[in-house]
Structure 1
């Protein structure tokens, strides 16, 4: 089955759709039972997608979990109220005091904060590694290292990691491997196919696709799914049935949306690569992006997210650029239908092991607007930027 077809059919068994096209929206806290025997049977196994209590999920949640697990090729999927919650609770499910984790230096900022402000206080230490280190990560593995965490491409600076080499090094030392796959989304990249144990996504982004739901998902292999499922349940992780329904609706159109995001972003990225103010473009599909060779080898496609590095600049110029734009709005997140922009004058506080010897970084998410309108908007915005230098 092609992935486009899979997105339409996944999670739509008759027990969830009950005779209509979409899985039913089933809200519940309390589930009632007709007999003690029925109650005991439902309580036996948290993994059997049986109604038991609202926190375990309803048929709406189960449909989404089955669909995401099928998309990522895993044994099961846990749901969380945000992508940050998915990362935090997946880590908490597998580490204890005295453990050590390896985290790429290009990590999503909330991931870094969680390691430095929460895990450190619990006695779990973190070593940040150069995202381009590949097999060299072996030299950083300690006797108490428990997890190797990856994010490919990395947040903001978009380094694509050599996932097979990293996984091989980790497995040689018995580590659990996790990867933030929000960019790869299960269509463009499937980490479990490359030996990764757990794939995590901020479903807020491309799965939902409309900037109106916060959600995280974590998909594990058969070996690690029981632990992830149980510990996430014990940590109280759940999301609303309404949000699960919205994620299912977004999932159905994700493939066609991604194609347009990809096409438009490549057009904008290529235009920016020729702009006199731009030092280089960090789009994984372009040779100027670190790790581009791994992207070509491992990914099936890109999307709307990339960054540019400017030759020079100051904060006033960056602020003027953002305020001059009409179609690009300044806001956190990405993956929705709208175009967004964020800026970083320096990478101070966002890197600790890898230096930054370039100019200001501008991260763009190319939405579903007409691409010529977006290019015109960036052109006039960069003119304003130049006037402030």
Structure 2
């Protein structure tokens, strides 16, 4: 059969998703790779064992199944290498531990994923690393926060729960000028809608739990590095003994095959719901970067190729003491939406967002913030359910 690599480099995204990763020819023609369960790997002789002169040496260092997924992620990310870890949070913490040491200074965007903040405020602080949070809208002002010992700048765009945008290219240039590594949690966009390494980021992080897996049943994270940072990231993952399982890798690889068409539906339905919510009197504002009304829309439009299925809106409330009662009334009236954490699966989810951990960014004051994951259900049914929630909230 003719070499297909050049063909797929020029192919559309869904074509690539259907074929990236393992070559069926490597597995006797079977379309999907085998699930290889392994801890011990045998060597043919003592010299091979001493020099580790073979591709696979121990289960924590990869198997054909986990390699199939990392190869697929490298193709999507344009990265020099990818590690897989047991959760999205581990995908953040492993590179932090790889590139930070006692006495270092780290800049973390203030709209960061809450468990990442907890790790910074506990584990990193105990290790003697100084953590400072910066406003996602800071822009050029980030230069003033850089210090001689700043070793890492962490970004999210859009930010967790409130969806602030950042100029990732600008952040990367400022960080690199000061000798810092740039990490980015890109779970919201996936590599289909934004490729961090193309914008100067060194380490691209994903909770593969979300859209790559896509079915609310797998916990996994991926970390993809550029050529300059790959060896240090890989060494850290080996030293920490962090690895993903072959069964979960197999399932995430299957999820990648349909991620493109799922994201198309998530995007279309979510934008329809978000624009409709902008017209509702019960809603103070909608926090979605693909909306023209959103403050970071211009950055999103310039850098991103699409938007996914999660956003927030601010529910109007007459006073602060009505925030929680109105949020709870909204959530408790829902029948189609599930009340649960995470997102990226096929089902719609809703949660009342807590923002009391923010250090320097201003949070919405008009009412409680409700985060919605718009699933694959019919838009008319999603709207009907939200209407019931809005009516219940207004009655409080």
- With structure 1 as the length reference, what TM-score do the two structures score? 0.95
Alignment partner of 2:375 out of 367, 370, 379? 367
Given that 1:282 and 1:290 are in contact with CA atoms closer than 8 Å, whether structure 2 keeps it comes out as: no
Structure 1 equivalent of residue 79 of structure 2: 74
Alignment partner of 1:128 out of 128, 133, 145? 133
Quick one: structure 1 residues 192 and 379, their matched pair in 2 at CA, closer, same or farther if it must change by over 3 Å? same
- With structure 2 as the length reference, what TM-score do the two structures score? 0.94
Quick one: structure 1 residues 17 and 133, their matched pair in 2 at CA, closer, same or farther if it must change by over 3 Å? farther
1:40 CA displacement: 4.1
Structure 1 equivalent of residue 7 of structure 2: none
Report SS of the residue matched to 1:159: coil
1:357 CA displacement: 4.4
Structure 1 equivalent of residue 328 of structure 2: 319
Given that 2:85 and 2:91 are in contact with CA atoms closer than 8 Å, whether structure 1 keeps it comes out as: yes
Structure 2 residue 332 is matched with structure 1 residue 330:
no
Given that 2:85 and 2:222 are in contact with CA atoms closer than 8 Å, whether structure 1 keeps it comes out as: yes
What are the residue-to-residue correspondences of 1:158-307 with 2, within 5 Å?
158-307=163-312
Q: For residues 233 and 134 of structure 1, what CA distance do their matches in structure 2 show?
A: 36
Structure 1 equivalent of residue 31 of structure 2: 21
Given that 2:91 and 2:222 are in contact with CA atoms closer than 8 Å, whether structure 1 keeps it comes out as: yes
1:347 CA displacement: 1.9
Cα RMSD (Å): 1.3
Structure 1 equivalent of residue 4 of structure 2: none
Report SS of the residue matched to 1:93: helix
Q: For residues 108 and 225 of structure 1, what CA distance do their matches in structure 2 show?
A: 24
Structure 2 equivalent of residue 378 of structure 1: 386
Given that 2:24 and 2:32 are in contact with CA atoms closer than 8 Å, whether structure 1 keeps it comes out as: no
Given that 2:108 and 2:131 are in contact with CA atoms closer than 8 Å, whether structure 1 keeps it comes out as: yes
Given that 1:82 and 1:204 are in contact with CA atoms closer than 8 Å, whether structure 2 keeps it comes out as: yes
Instruction: Give 5+ residue unaligned stretches, structure 1.
Output: none
1:2 CA displacement: 2.0
Given that 1:18 and 1:24 are in contact with CA atoms closer than 8 Å, whether structure 2 keeps it comes out as: no
Q: For residues 17 and 300 of structure 1, what CA distance do their matches in structure 2 show?
A: 35
Q: For residues 187 and 301 of structure 1, what CA distance do their matches in structure 2 show?
A: 8
Q: Deviations over 1:107-154 (max 9, x none)?
A: 000110010011001000111000011121001001110001000100
Q: Deviations over 1:14-69 (max 9, x none)?
A: 4654320111111111111222344345x258xxxx21111112100000001001
1:284 CA displacement: 1.2
1:281 CA displacement: 0.7
Given that 2:137 and 2:165 are in contact with CA atoms closer than 8 Å, whether structure 1 keeps it comes out as: yes
Q: For residues 117 and 353 of structure 1, what CA distance do their matches in structure 2 show?
A: 19
Report SS of the residue matched to 1:126: strand
Report SS of the residue matched to 2:31: coil
Given that 2:147 and 2:178 are in contact with CA atoms closer than 8 Å, whether structure 1 keeps it comes out as: no
Q: For residues 81 and 379 of structure 1, what CA distance do their matches in structure 2 show?
A: 38
1:311 CA displacement: 2.2
Alignment partner of 1:339 out of 334, 338, 348? 348
Structure 2 residue 359 is matched with structure 1 residue 352:
yes
Report SS of the residue matched to 2:298: helix
Q: For residues 80 and 199 of structure 2, what CA distance do their matches in structure 1 show?
A: 15
Quick one: structure 1 residues 122 and 337, their matched pair in 2 at CA, closer, same or farther if it must change by over 3 Å? same
Give the number of equivalent residue pairs: 381
Given that 1:16 and 1:59 are in contact with CA atoms closer than 8 Å, whether structure 2 keeps it comes out as: no
Structure 1 equivalent of residue 44 of structure 2: 34
Given that 1:102 and 1:129 are in contact with CA atoms closer than 8 Å, whether structure 2 keeps it comes out as: yes
